[in-house]
Structure 1
């Protein structure tokens, strides 16, 4: 569960106002102290990166012909997928 930015700000603001420790403030708001520690450094939640789910077989074949010596990591970057997805697609291709 992700807490709202307003709530995070309230926790940090009241912690500084009251001079409480991270543990004390976390206990007061009934949240984990690790969350409060993270919010001090970065109050905005991290955004997730979305990756492509399927690799177009014909595009992969073209890429292999165009770059026969490329590493799987390089192909993965070009296709926007993880290296394991390239490995699995190449394994199916055989």
Structure 2
């Protein structure tokens, strides 16, 4: 089932405002916790994969 952006935002907002866990949030909205988890991961910025070369840190 596809959920609207508006609904997804409401779920995440409610979770943050009320300090709920993923499982509690899913139960409150009658949806699977996997959906909530996925939506959170889509919102959070991804970590950069850039790494500093070891040669730059310890020049020989």
TM-score (norm 2): 0.69
Residue 17 in structure 1 maps to residue 14 in structure 2 = no
* Higher relative contact order (CA closer than 8 Å, sequence separation 6+): 2
* Unaligned runs of at least 5 residues, structure 1: 44-94
- Residue 39 of structure 1 corresponds to 39
- Runs of 4+ in structure 1 over 6 Å off: none
Alignment of 1:1-94 (within 5 A): 1-42=1-42
Q: Return the offset for 1:25.
A: 0.5
* Unaligned runs of at least 5 residues, structure 2: 44-60
Q: Return the offset for 1:42.
A: 1.2
Distance 1:42 1:6 in 2: 15
Q: How many residues align?
A: 43
Aligned residues: CA RMSD = 0.9
Which structure would you say has the larger Rg? 1
